[in-house]
């Protein structure tokens, strides 16, 4: 009963209430994630300098490129667990949980080695300036040295979310975030470790959160209980996860690749532009926070309800999440645009950095609402077990269109705004693709058929 009380019932009752109750802890989790990520930048920018801020900020897209493939498997694991949980299949839930944790350990080791080895080469390909290179390499190598803490926490918290529990990941992230802030201040201000201190603080806080998640999963008496001796790959479950995880992983890597291309174009404008963009990205994270929570919520909501044979409820939940996403992005995005100067001023007082940061916030914050249909519908379609279409849409819009735009337009006119405009342009195109597929695609047919079969069986009973 203790485990049940921590979960939100997404299959029955009010859709509004269920989505909001499930999403609020996700938003708070994202808030604390952004808070301690922002503290990294604030501490570095104020106590080390704009060059160090550029070094830390420029590594985000690169680190996500390396771990992006694993993140796709994390998505796949969550979808499969949620579908079996919604269908009330405890044995399959248990197999899925232990297969997912085996994936976390495997990817944590492999990605750590790969990240340490290829970091310098990738930073060079990104046109990273010489005055930033050494600090960026140091930060990435420390980060990837402890990346297994990230993979274990993400899988563990994903398991909890898949069964409707978004509260405990929040609690552990709060503890981790506070730890991160304290260690940042100690390592950077007291011990003068610079970017190395920021990286070490990140790894230490992630280690703490992963330990807390694993401990809780081992203590529960529910079907998703984790037992260390049972951690292994179950072939049939691994295949199911891979069918979603591989396309989702490729999608994550493609988006990261396009972000690296964008970052490389920003790097052309120098370390001031890099620092300004780094500050804007931290602000951008707060604007994106509610939309990301609603998207994650819809993946779990869709998977559980389709597993229970409730397709119509999925459609109603999609409309609800869409409205919530539009309201949140318009309010937060436009507020950020209006307050761009004081917000960017929190990170730096250098006028050149402010120039680039303010312009980034104006463009991104003012147009974020165009991304709502993309994120919500992607969450729904992935929750239905279809990751190939989201991958295809992302490869075309977020990678091919962006790279063509940047390659062609910047060769004609070197202007910072032309780099930024590729975001709203591709968000709009991608959203249109998702809207068309949601209403016209074949992803709905097998689930509508299952719903009809369950209804027929209920009538006969």
pLDDT in tens, 105-161: 999 999 999 989 988 887 887 677 777 788 888 988 998 999 999 999 989 998 998
Unique residue bearing structure tokens 């979310």: 161
Which pLDDT band holds residue 447 (cuts at 50, 70, 90)? low
> What's the rounded mean pLDDT across residues 74-93?
90
Helices (H) and strands (E) in the chain, counts: 20, 0
How many C-beta atoms lie closer than 10 Å to residue 442's C-beta? 9
Residue 1 reports pLDDT greater than 50:
no
State the DSSP H helix or E strand holding residue 132, giving kind and residue range, or none if neither: helix 130-145
> What's the rounded mean pLDDT across residues 396-416?
86
Question: What is the model's pLDDT at position 58?
Answer: 61
Longest dimension (CA), the chain: 73
Of 284, 270, 308, nearest to 61 (Cα)?
A: 284
| Exposure string over 33-56, b if 16+ CB within 10 A, otherwise e | bbbbbbbbbbbbbeebbbbbbbbb
Q: Answer whether 66's CB lies under 8 Å from 366's CB.
A: no
Distance in Å from the first CA to the final CA of the chain: 29
Question: What is the model's pLDDT at position 3?
Answer: 45
Question: What is the model's pLDDT at position 118?
Answer: 87
- Residues, the chain: 461
pLDDT in tens, 327-338: 999 999 999 999
Q: Answer whether 398's CB lies under 8 Å from 430's CB.
A: yes
How many C-beta atoms lie closer than 10 Å to residue 4's C-beta? 11
Q: Comparing 57 with 191, which gets the higher pLDDT?
A: 191
* Residue 191 to residues 184, 186, 194, Cα–Cα distance (Å): 10, 6, 9
Q: Comparing 6 with 296, which gets the higher pLDDT?
A: 296
- Measured CA to CA, the distance from residue 50 to residue 132 in angstroms comes to 10
Q: Three-state DSSP class for 284?
A: helix
Question: What is the model's pLDDT at position 2?
Answer: 43
Unique residue bearing structure tokens 């990520």: 37
Question: What is the model's pLDDT at position 402?
Answer: 87
């Amino acid at each position: 009963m203790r485990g049940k009380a921590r979960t939100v019932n997404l299959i029955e009752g009010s859709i509004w209430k269920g989505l909001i109750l499930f999403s609020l802890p996700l938003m708070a989790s994202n808030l604390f994630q952004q808070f301690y990520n922002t503290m990294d930048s604030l501490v570095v920018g104020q106590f080390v300098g704009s060059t160090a801020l550029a070094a830390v900020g420029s590594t985000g897209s690169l680190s996500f490129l390396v771990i992006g493939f694993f993140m796709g498997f994390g998505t796949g694991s969550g979808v499969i667990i949620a579908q079996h949980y919604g269908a009330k299949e405890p044995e399959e839930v248990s197999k899925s949980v232990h297969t997912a944790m085996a994936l976390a350990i495997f990817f944590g080791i492999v990605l750590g080695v790969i990240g340490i080895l290829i970091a310098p080469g990738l930073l060079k390909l990104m046109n990273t300036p010489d005055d930033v290179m050494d600090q960026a390499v140091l930060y990435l190598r420390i980060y990837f040295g402890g990346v297994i803490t990230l993979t274990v926490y993400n899988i563990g918290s994903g398991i909890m979310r898949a069964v409707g529990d978004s509260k405990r990941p929040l609690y552990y992230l709060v503890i981790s975030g506070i730890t991160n802030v304290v260690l940042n201040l100690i390592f950077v201000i007291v011990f003068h470790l610079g970017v190395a201190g920021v990286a070490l603080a990140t790894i230490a806080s992630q280690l703490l959160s992963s330990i807390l998640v694993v401990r809780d999963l081992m203590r529960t008496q529910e079907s998703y209980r984790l037992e260390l001796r049972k951690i292994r790959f179950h072939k049939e479950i691994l295949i199911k996860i891979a069918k979603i995880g591989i396309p989702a992983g490729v999608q994550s890597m493609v988006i990261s690749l396009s972000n690296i291309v964008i970052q490389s174009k920003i790097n052309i404008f120098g370390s001031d532009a890099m620092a300004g963009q780094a500050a804007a990205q931290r602000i951008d994270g707060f604007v994106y926070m509610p939309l990301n929570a609603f998207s994650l919520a819809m993946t779990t909501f869709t998977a559980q309800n389709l597993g229970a044979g409730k397709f119509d409820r999925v459609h109603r939940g999609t409309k609800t999440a869409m409205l919530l996403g539009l309201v949140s992005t318009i309010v937060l995005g436009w507020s950020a645009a209006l307050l761009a100067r004081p917000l960017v001023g929190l990170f730096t007082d250098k006028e050149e950095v402010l120039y680039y940061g303010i312009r980034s916030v104006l463009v991104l914050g003012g147009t974020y609402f165009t991304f709502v249909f993309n994120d919500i519908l992607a969450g729904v379609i992935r929750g239905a077990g279809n990751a190939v279409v989201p991958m295809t849409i992302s490869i075309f819009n977020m990678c091919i269109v962006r790279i063509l735009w940047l390659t062609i337009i910047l060769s004609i006119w070197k202007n910072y705004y032309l780099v930024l405009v590729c975001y709203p342009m591709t968000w709009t195109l991608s959203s249109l693709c998702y809207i068309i597929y949601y209403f016209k695609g074949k992803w709905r047919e097998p689930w509508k058929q299952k719903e009809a079969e369950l209804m027929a069986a209920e009538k006969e009973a």
